[in-house]
Amino acid sequence: LTSAQNTLRAQASTFGTNLSIVENRQDFTKSLINTLEEGAGKLTLADTNEEGANLLALQTQQSLASTSLSLAAQADQNVLRLF
């Protein structure tokens, strides 16, 4: 009976140690998941911001080109008025 009791205590100790290891691994895994999700969110946000900046640059370029053509046409008309 004493031997069985000692065996049970040893197994309980082993289970406690194993439980602690599993809990530590679970905490680490949860932390890693949170870090990866946060990083993925930042990457998605960075891509959106970059594309927004590219779109704004293209719109500005188009606006400048349109204004340039308008000014060139006005200059041509002013030259023709001189004659």
DSSP notation for 18-52 = HHHHHHHHHHHHHHHHHHHHHHHHHHHHHHHHHHH
Cα(72)–Cα(78) distance, rounded to whole angstroms?
A: 10
pLDDT of 22-78, one tens digit each?
A: 999 999 999 999 999 998 888 877 788 888 899 999 999 999 999 999 998 888 888
pLDDT for position 28:
96
pTM: 0.51
Question: Looking at per-residue confidence, does 18 or 44 come out higher?
Answer: 18
